[in-house]
């Protein structure tokens, strides 16, 4: 138990140190994220009459923040796996009886740092566009609960991708497509109630839609599609199921690589 | 015997082919991207507002075709900057950079020409990908318009290559994990007003946008998508701007490359 | 007390690979990496696993270090089974798999060691002390490289750091895959001397893989030669050399311009009827001729050769007969391998 504590401390220390050492990349990533988001958001805003910008801005902003949780988990955890494998670091960690999983999960530190910084800056842009602060929320605790549930899901999903990339090459585009689908159809961008009737069952089947409903309730007080209590239960079940799946799949992957060796196949 | 430009391009075409052959998914994914972007913008926009508002704001006749063409331009510009700007960095990761530099010809020739076939292919693929969309909306006229846009994209590629080489020179000098100037791509696209009129940007940004070639490519696309027959005079103006930028950027690029080559050789970061 | 630190018995390993043929075609191929490898490593010795490229050295090392499961066979390290007691095996081994990777680029040597030390449960003063000790031991401190970023290390420094990490938790067994590959003579010598010192003075068991025969002759107590997935020889250096005791090498320095060497080799073969010979160009229009003969044959062969050379106008400057080296044994045993 004691040893696991030291391991976790080591992993956290490693990722903060790397974050500092790659500071230019870090700043570049924040800037790149903000710019891409602004391009798409400006495009989307062209569909809305200026009089409605104030009303839509917080929903759009929080949708984007939630999407950032998803895409940064995918890219900072899943995408980094190739580097981790190709540099022989999987073997080096296994030799110290350390599973690659916590090291990969630790990349969430980098991903969340970029997400946080980029979100704050995008919030400033939105505040300018909407003419009022978009970061004032209705219930911060509920927002936090929703984001924790979402982060659990996205990190688990990223780990599933990471596990897959030990065995197969995963093209980055496929991940982007999945992310975009989750954004629009998965209820991250808009409340499920605002989606066309036919698409709602799809959104309900996508796990992220549920914490997104919780977050929106916390931000604007919008009643979640299935009610707050139900959404909390469903989100918890989805989060646990995804985390458990990631654990099982990674265990199997570790067995697989012991049988077949570690090969850097999963470039994303 | 010194290597000619043709030798470098031939070798690069071969390596691009071999790479695509062994990474088929990437090849197919190039075709999907513009549709993915169009889907994202349209879906977001239509959930938040209406297509009619978009049509009115931008003053275009076919918003879907326009977004599709803009997505194609975004992707092709992105590919050019990304391929050219990160090519040197990529070769450094692979350890092939010194061997590229050992090609018996001028270094700038190798660094500029080596990524060009891959950049042209990627851009062409991105634009050709939207051909079915163009034909669907406007029949053969749509295909003709697309061809016109493709020509402007090729022309826009010339200054973009110069700009990318300047970025590549910067990244060569610094030791980083990724291309630390990758923010420039979305910046250029943001300033070019790909999915919105640049008038929504602050005046200072509108002024800045004039130095980036993508602005003129986007405007040409807008002209083509807006009118049944694009105004030739307006198009010629845009083409002239692109030619001037080509001269400026490529001139600066050859100077920048020379300087960075000296710095890199001095510090030994190859 | 256990006599053998490492025991491997009948290790078999097959890999599946895909050959790419054309744009869409690919064909499955089974590569038999190990075909029943068995050997023992005695406690406190330096053991060399020798073999040409692709012979199965790294696969063997990966199985012994628990990173790869054998398809068949069994291996134990300090009595622990590498399959069922992998975690215990990892506690008692220090490993270097590659001298040029396996570290974080933007961390210094000291920081990298600290990180991997923490993963092994070291902490506080004990961690700092061990990190300093191993940095000192491998000579990185002396080179002033402890606080340099890993990406700025030379290959020699990287190799030293890899060895330092293997020693960090003071394991009784070191398993090192080609620890001196690509290093300059000075760095290679430092590492070799250190390995011998660790075995002799600290009673550590060292298993190295190498195809540097000179290195193996210098430091190994026992060696096994692996070829095409099988152990083809096992013993002390002396025992292995005796495997080639029916062979002697006759070396002659002759006057032979480089331009005629190809033709000359065939002519000499014909003149003296020897099957195993080699011609190596030297400076000033000379060449070294090497003929492998059976003991007792050497005088006749030398006389015949000199006579043949003089009658063809080829001067002979030097003649030397020597015992087989480990390299001769290695070439003899691995001849014809891929």
- pLDDT value at position A215? 93
Instruction: Give the model confidence (pLDDT) of B65-87 as tens digits.
Output: 788 888 888 877 777 777 777 77
Cα gap A78→A84, rounded to integer Å: 10
Secondary structure (DSSP) of A142-191: HHHHHHHHHHHHHHHHHHHHHHHTTTS---HHHHHHHHHHHHHTTTSSS-
Q: Find chains touching chain B: ≥3 CB pairs under 8 Å.
A: A, C
More confident residue, A58 or C89: C89
The parent domain of residue B35 ranges over 5-267
Query: Is pLDDT at A81 greater than 90 in this prediction?
Result: no
CB proximity A17 to B under 8 Å: no
pLDDT at A169: 62
Residue C105 with chain B: CB contacts under 8 Å = 177
Which of A31-45, C69-83, C134-148, C168-182 comes out lowest in average pLDDT?
A: A31-45
| Tens digits of residue pLDDT in B174-196 | 655 456 567 888 888 888 888 88
Helix, strand, coil in percent for chain C, rounding step 5: 35, 30, 30
Does residue A19 surpass a pLDDT of 80?
Answer: yes
Q: Where are the domains of chain C?
A: 4-243, 248-334
Whether residue C314 has pLDDT greater than 70: yes
Interface with chain B: mutation pick from C23, C25, C149, highest number of B CBs within 10 Å? C23
Which residues in chain A are closer than 8 Å to C68, comparing Cβ atoms? 258-259, 261
SS3 of A57-104: the string is HHHHHHHHHHHHHHHHHHHHHHCHHHHHHHCCHHHHHHCCCCCHHHHH
Q: How close does chain A come to C194, measured CA to CA in Å? A: 22
Q: Which chains touch A (3 or more CB pairs under 8 A)?
A: B, C
- Give chain B's mean pLDDT: 78
| Angle at CA of residue C91, ends A9 and C154, nearest 5° | 70
pLDDT tens digits for range A145-200: 999 999 999 999 999 988 888 876 666 666 777 777 777 777 788 888 888 888 88
Instruction: Work out the angle at residue A241's Cα, subtended by the Cα atoms of residues A239 and A243, and round it to the nearest 5 degrees.
Output: 70
More confident residue, A126 or A9: A9
pLDDT of res. A268: 42
For the stretch C214-228, pLDDT in tens is 889 889 999 999 998
For residue C125, which phi and psi values (nearest 5 degrees)? -65, -35
Q: How confident is the model at residue A227 (pLDDT cuts 50, 70, 90)?
A: very high
Chain A interface includes C93 (CB < 8 A)? yes
Contact status, residue C201 vs residue C46, Cβ threshold 8 Å = no
* Residue C95: per-residue pLDDT: 94
Q: Please list, in sequence order, all residues whose beta carbon lies within 8 angstroms of the beta carbon of residue A68, skipping any fewer than 6 positions away.
A: A33, A37, A115, A118, A119
Which residues in chain B are contacts of A44 at CB distance < 8 A?
41, 44-45, 48-49
Bridge partners (DSSP) of residue C7 are C40, C76
**Residue C223 backbone dihedrals phi, psi, to 5 degrees:** -135, 155
Mapped onto helix, strand or coil, the DSSP state of residue C208 is strand
Q: Which of B36, B39, B41 sits opposite A44 (nearest CB)?
A: B41
Of residues B168 and B252, the one with the higher pLDDT is: B252
DSSP C79-127: TEETTTTHHHHHHHEEEES-SS-SS-TTSBHHHHHHHHHHHTT--HHHH
Please give the pLDDT value at position A173.
63
Q: What is the pLDDT of residue C63?
A: 94
Helices A23-45 and B24-48, packing angle to 10 deg: 50
Q: What pLDDT score does C338 carry?
A: 45
CATH C-level class of C248-334: alpha beta
pLDDT of the residue at A266: 45
C-alpha to C-alpha distance for C186 and B152, rounded to whole angstroms: 60
Nearest CA among A59, A35, A56 for reference residue A45:
A56
Q: Is the ipTM of this complex over 0.85?
A: no
C-alpha triplet B223, B226, B229: angle, nearest 5°: 75
Is the CB of residue B175 less than 8 Å away from at least one CB of chain C? Answer: yes
Q: How far is B217 from chain A (nearest CA, A)?
A: 17
Residue B250: its pLDDT value, please?
86
pLDDT at C316 over 60: yes
- Quick one: fold of C4-243? Rossmann fold (3.40.50)
A-B Cβ pairs (cutoff 8 Å, strict): 118
* Predicted local confidence at residue C125, as pLDDT: 92
Contacts of A97 in chain C (CB under 8 A): 87, 90-91, 119-120
Taking a contact as any Cβ pair under 8 Å apart, which residues of chain A between 78 and 137 contact chain C? 87-89, 91-98
Q: Which residues of B touch C20 (CB under 8 A)?
A: 21-22
CA distance C234 to A184: 66
Q: What is the mean pLDDT of residues C188-194?
A: 90
In this prediction, residue A234 carries a pLDDT of: 96
Number of other CB atoms surrounding residue C126 within 10 Å? 11
Q: Give the count of domains, chain B.
A: 1
What confidence score (pLDDT) does residue C172 get?
95
Neighbours of C300 (CB within 10 A): 11
The rounded distance, in Å, linking the Cα atoms of A255 and A266 is 17
Q: Give the pLDDT of residue C36.
A: 94
For the stretch B202-236, pLDDT in tens is: 888 888 888 888 888 888 877 776 655 556 777 78
C12 touches chain A (CB under 8 A): no
Supply the mean pLDDT for chain C: 86
pLDDT of residue B267: 65
Beta strands in chain C (DSSP E): 4-21, 25-42, 46-50, 72-77, 80-81, 93-96, 173-177, 205-210, 222-227, 230-236, 248-255, 277-281, 286-293, 316-322
If one compares B17 and A230, the residue with the highest pLDDT of the two is A230
């Amino acid at each position: 138990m004691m040893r696991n504590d030291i391991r976790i401390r080591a992993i956290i220390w490693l990722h903060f140190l790397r974050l500092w050492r790659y500071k230019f990349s870090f700043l570049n990533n924040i800037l790149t994220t903000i710019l891409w988001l602004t391009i798409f958001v400006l495009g989307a805003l062209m569909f809305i009459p200026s009089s409605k910008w104030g009303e839509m801005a917080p929903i759009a902003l929080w949708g984007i923040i939630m999407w950032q949780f998803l895409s940064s988990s995918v890219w900072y955890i899943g995408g980094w796996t190739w580097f981790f494998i190709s540099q022989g670091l999987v073997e080096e960690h296994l030799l110290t009886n350390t599973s690659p999983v916590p090291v990969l999960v630790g990349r969430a530190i980098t991903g969340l740092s970029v997400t946080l910084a980029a979100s704050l800056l995008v919030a400033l842009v939105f505040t300018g566009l909407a003419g009022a602060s978009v970061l004032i929320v209705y219930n911060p605790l509920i927002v936090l609960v929703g984001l924790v549930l979402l982060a659990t899901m996205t990190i688990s999903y990223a780990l599933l991708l990471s596990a897959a990339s030990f065995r197969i090459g995963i093209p980055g585009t496929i991940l982007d497509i999945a992310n975009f689908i989750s954004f629009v159809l998965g209820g991250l961008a808009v409340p499920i109630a605002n989606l066309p009737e036919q698409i709602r069952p799809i959104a309900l089947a996508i796990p992220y839609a549920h914490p997104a409903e919780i977050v929106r309730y916390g931000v604007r007080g919008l009643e979640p599609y299935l009610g707050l209590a139900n959404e909390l239960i469903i989100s918890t079940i989805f989060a646990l199921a995804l985390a458990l799946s990631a654990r099982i799949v990674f265990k199997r992957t570790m067995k697989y690589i012991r049988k077949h060796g570690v090969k850097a196949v999963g470039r994303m | 015997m010194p290597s000619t430009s043709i030798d470098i391009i031939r070798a690069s075409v071969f390596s691009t082919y071999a790479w695509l052959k062994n990474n088929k998914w990437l090849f197919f994914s190039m075709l999907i991207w513009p549709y993915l972007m169009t889907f994202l913008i349209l879906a977001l926009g239509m959930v938040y507002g209406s297509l009619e508002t978009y049509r009115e704001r931008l003053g275009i006749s076919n918003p879907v075709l326009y977004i599709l063409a803009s997505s194609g331009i975004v992707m092709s510009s992105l590919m050019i900057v990304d391929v050219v700007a990160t090519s040197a960095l990529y070769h450094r990761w692979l350890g092939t950079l010194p061997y590229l530099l050992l090609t018996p010809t001028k270094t700038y020739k190798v660094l500029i020409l080596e990524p060009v076939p891959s950049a042209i292919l990627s851009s062409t693929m991105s634009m050709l990908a939207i051909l079915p969309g163009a034909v669907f909306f406007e029949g053969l006229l749509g295909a003709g318009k697309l061809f016109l846009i493709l020509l402007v994209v090729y022309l826009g590629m010339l200054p973009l290559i110069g700009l990318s080489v300047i970025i590549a020179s910067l990244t060569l000098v610094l030791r980083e994990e990724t291309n630390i100037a990758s923010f420039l791509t979305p910046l250029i696209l943001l300033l070019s007003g790909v999915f919105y009129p640049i008038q929504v940007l602050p005046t200072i940004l509108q002024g800045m946008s004039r130095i980036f070639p993508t602005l003129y490519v986007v405007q040409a696309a807008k002209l083509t998508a807006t009118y049944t027959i694009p105004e030739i005079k307006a198009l010629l103006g845009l083409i002239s701007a692109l030619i001037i930028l080509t001269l400026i950027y490529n001139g600066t690029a050859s100077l920048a490359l020379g300087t960075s080559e000296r710095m890199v050789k001095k510090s030994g970061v190859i | 007390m256990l006599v053998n630190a490492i025991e491997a018995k009948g290790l078999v390993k097959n890999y599946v690979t895909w050959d790419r043929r054309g744009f869409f075609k690919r064909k499955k191929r089974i590569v038999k990496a190990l075909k029943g490898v068995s050997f023992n490593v005695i406690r406190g010795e330096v053991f060399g696993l020798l073999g040409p490229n692709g012979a199965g050295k790294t696969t063997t090392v990966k199985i012994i270090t628990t990173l790869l499961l054998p398809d068949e066979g069994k291996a134990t390290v300090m009595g622990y089974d590498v399959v069922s007691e992998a975690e215990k095996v990892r506690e008692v081994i220090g490993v270097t798999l590659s001298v040029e990777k396996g570290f974080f680029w933007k961390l210094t040597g000291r920081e990298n060691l600290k990180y991997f030390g923490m993963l092994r449960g070291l902490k506080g003063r004990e961690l700092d002390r061990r990190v300093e000790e191993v940095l000192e031991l491998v000579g990185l401190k002396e080179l002033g490289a402890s606080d340099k970023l890993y990406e700025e290390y030379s290959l020699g420094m990287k190799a030293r750091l890899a060895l330092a990490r293997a020693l960090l938790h003071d394991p009784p067994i070191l398993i090192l895959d080609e620890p001196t590959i690509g290093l300059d003579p000075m760095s290679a010598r430092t590492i070799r001397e250190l390995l011998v010192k660790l075995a002799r003075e600290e009673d550590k068991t060292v298993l190295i893989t190498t195809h540097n025969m000179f290195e193996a002759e210098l430091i190994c107590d026992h060696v096994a030669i692996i070829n095409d997935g099988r152990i083809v020889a096992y013993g002390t250096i002396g025992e292995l050399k005796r495997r080639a005791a029916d062979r002697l090498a006759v070396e002659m320095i002759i006057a032979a311009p480089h331009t005629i060497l190809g033709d000359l080799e065939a002519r000499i073969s014909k003149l003296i009827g020897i099957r195993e010979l080699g011609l190596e160009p030297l400076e000033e229009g000379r060449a070294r001729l090497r003929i492998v003969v059976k003991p007792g044959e050497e005088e006749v062969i030398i006389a015949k050769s000199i006579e043949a050379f003089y009658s063809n106008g080829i001067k002979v400057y030097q003649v030397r007969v020597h015992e087989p080296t480990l390299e001769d044994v290695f070439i003899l045993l691995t001849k014809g391998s891929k």
